[in-house]
Amino acid sequence: MRILLDTHALLWWLQGDPRIGQAAMDAITDPANDILISVASLWEIVVKVRVGKLEADIAEISEAIDAQGFDTLDIRPYHLAALADLPMHHRDPFDHLLIAQAICENLTFLSHDQHVPAYPVVYLPCAASR
C-alpha cells in the first residue's frame, strides 16, 4: 500500500503522539507500505511556524523524514488540475491539495480530519477513535 500522511499525522508520528491509533501505526511501520510526505505538508508546517500557530524546525523534520525512510511527493501540475475540480467540503487549502494528490497518485490518505470521508479518496483514519 502507498500511504500519504496528512500534515498532523506526520507531526504526531514524529513526536510519538499517543493520538495515533494502532491501525495507523501498523500501516506506517509495515515495511511493505510506502509512506509519502507531500511538499505541501512541509509548506504548511513552515506557514504555521511563521504565523505562530506551531513550533517546529523544518530542517529537523526534513531530516526525520529521511531517517524514517519516507518518500517526498512533489506538487505536479496535474495535482493542481485535480485540485481545481475538487468539491469544497471544507476550507483548508492544504488538505485540499493533499487529497487531490492522494486521488491522482492512487494513495491511501492517512488523516484524522473529519471532512476527508466526504471526498473520493481512499482513507485510513489516523486515530483509533474520535
Mean pLDDT of the chain, nearest integer: 95
Residues paired with 108 in a beta bridge: 3, 122
Local confidence band at 91 (pLDDT 50, 70, 90 cut-offs)? confident
Q: Is residue 100 part of a domain?
A: yes
103-112 pLDDT, tens digit per residue, is 999 999 999 9
Q: Is residue 120 part of a domain?
A: yes
User: What Cα–Cα distance (Å) separates residue 122 from each residue in 11, 49, 65, 68, 107?
Assistant: 21, 29, 23, 23, 7
Q: Is residue 108 part of a domain?
A: yes
pLDDT above 90 for 90 = no
In this structure, what CATH number is given to the domain that contains residue 110? 3.40.50.1010
**Rounded to 5 degrees, what are φ and ψ at 76?**
-115, 155
41-84 pLDDT, tens digit per residue, is 999 999 999 999 999 999 999 999 999 999 999 999 999 999 99
**What's the sign of the alpha-carbon dihedral 22, 26, 27, 29?**
positive
Q: Which domain holds residue 62?
A: 2-125
Local confidence band at 129 (pLDDT 50, 70, 90 cut-offs)? low
Per residue, what are the HEC states of 55-85? CCCHHHHHHHHHHHCCEEECCCHHHHHHHHH
* pLDDT value, residue 107: 98
Q: What is the tally of structural domains in the chain? A: 1
The CA dihedral of 99, 88, 46, 124, to the nearest 10 degrees, is -30
pTM given for the model: 0.95
Q: Is residue 130 part of a domain?
A: no
